[in-house]
Structure 1
């Protein structure tokens, strides 16, 4: 699995996002493209220490899902969204694209940083685990929209 912190990955993700427009339809799932971009901002806000969304440690979730968050195995289609991360309200595509672009640029500017806060649900993660988790989530949703 690629890591967001690898050379060229920021550009790859940005190029894929730039292929989206407000009418891009999902291949699966319930979110529209604006909702997906809003949803994808949430893990970025967590790693950038802007928001924790009230996420709390849960030993069962940690035991069952932590390694799948950054493993090399792709997530299957239509996985359930964690409570509090589901976007049901309408979102403006252009606004959401601008916000996620800003967050991605900020995270890219910190890619050489080695000290990252613990994840609010999964606890201590290495830089490699954080980077893979960020890439895997973005890749999953960009594949959902065919880019």
Structure 2
């Protein structure tokens, strides 16, 4: 699995983001593109230490899900969304596209950083694990909308 911090990955993700428009329908799931872009900002806000969304450690989630966050296997379609991360209210596509673009740019500007804080639910992660988790989440949702 690619890591956000690898050369070329930021450019790939920005290109895929730029291929999104508000009229694209999801291949699976319930979110529209605006909701998906808002949802995808949440893990970026966590790594950038902007918000923690009240995420707490959970031994069962750690046991069942942590390794899949940064493994080499893509996530399957229709995985359940973590409590508090499901987006059901209307989101403006253009606003959310701009917001996620800013977060991706900020994370990319910190790609040489090695001292990332522990994840609020999964605990200590290496830079590579953080990078794979960020890429994997974005890749999952970009595939959801065919980009």
TM-score greater than 0.5 by the shorter chain: yes
1:17-42 CA-to-partner distances (Å, cap 9, x unmatched) read 10011111100000000000000000
Q: Which position in structure 2 is the counterpart of 1:113?
A: 113
Q: Which position in structure 2 is the counterpart of 1:31?
A: 31
Q: Which position in structure 2 is the counterpart of 1:90?
A: 90
Q: What does residue range 54-93 of structure 1 map to in structure 2 within 5 Å?
A: 54-93=54-93
Distance in 1 between residues matched to 2:79 and 2:22, nearest whole Å: 23
- 5+ long unaligned stretches in structure 2: none
1:78-135 CA-to-partner distances (Å, cap 9, x unmatched) read 0000000000000000000000000000000000000000000000000000000000
Query: Runs of at least 4 residues of structure 1 off by over 4 A?
Result: none
Q: What does residue range 95-106 of structure 1 map to in structure 2 within 5 Å?
A: 95-106=95-106
Distance in 1 between residues matched to 2:137 and 2:89, nearest whole Å: 21
Distance in 1 between residues matched to 2:58 and 2:80, nearest whole Å: 17
Q: Which position in structure 1 is the counterpart of 2:138?
A: 138
1:42-69 CA-to-partner distances (Å, cap 9, x unmatched) read 0000000000000000011101110000
CA RMSD, 1 decimal: 0.3
Distance in 2 between residues matched to 1:16 and 1:77, nearest whole Å: 19
SS in 1 for 2:142: helix
Distance in 1 between residues matched to 2:25 and 2:12, nearest whole Å: 20
- 5+ long unaligned stretches in structure 1: none
Distance in 2 between residues matched to 1:142 and 1:4, nearest whole Å: 14
